[in-house]
Structure 1
Amino acid sequence: MRKILNWFFRNRETGAITIAQSPNLVLWIVIVAALLRWMWPSSGQVSGALTVVVKGGLLVWAADEIVRGVNPWRRCLGTAVAVYDLTTLLR
């Protein structure tokens, strides 16, 4: 079990255990857009544009994690976020 967990969480670049990382630029944009959308929850054009930025940004971030994630955990996290984002997008 220890070997499997080590493989799953071990950063392939640094050798450290990596569960979370500081946000990259795309994720910072998503965070700011989500906060702005939360502050202005109207149904106008601004809210719609912010929703597009949040949903699109999450898909870009998820695709980046799936392709370039530093370990299997990060790739699984990207896959889970993409699946969630796509299922909520279709509602």
Structure 2
Amino acid sequence: MTTTSPKTETPARPAFPSPQWWVRDRHGNLAVAQPPNPALVVWLLSVVVGWTGLLDSHREHVVTTIGQGALVAWSLDELLRGSSPVRRVLGAVVLVGMLVRLLG
């Protein structure tokens, strides 16, 4: 006769009040920063190109607008599909900031 001990599973993600809850994905992996995605790369390139001062005002405006659109796309992606709560909150904060800047 074999006996089995009760199966004790540790939760993959800490409980809500824990600071760990904010930075862990649903599998318990640390998920604060990940390799840049294409939208962030486009935004970062637009910022760098804008800082160089090599473009005339019209082209600089086009590059800035493309960068702002990429940042809005990134923030929406993080808000809707962020792997941890802190990433979803960051997406929401960036989206609100961009909307205030663009519409204000």
- Structure 1-normalised TM-score? 0.85
User: Whole-Å Cα distance in 2 between the matches of residues 8 and 34 of structure 1?
Assistant: 29
Matches within 5 A, 1:16-35: 16-35=29-48
| Structure 2 portions without partners, runs of 5+ | 1-14
Percent identity between matched residues is 31
Give the SS at the match of 1:11.
coil
Alignment of 1:41-80 (within 5 A): 44-80=57-93
RMSD across aligned C-alpha pairs, in angstroms? 2.1
Which is worse superposed, 14-23 or 60-69? 14-23
More helix by proportion, 1 or 2?
A: 1
For 1:41 and 1:84, how far apart are their aligned partners in 2?
27
CA deviations over 1:27-82 (Å, ceiling 9, x no partner): 10110111001112766211110111111111000000011100110000000111
Residue 79 of structure 1: SS of its match in structure 2? helix
Structure 1: gaps (5+ residues) = none
How many residues align structurally?
Answer: 90
Per-residue deviation, 1:2: 8.5
With the length of structure 2 as denominator, give the TM-score of the two structures. 0.75
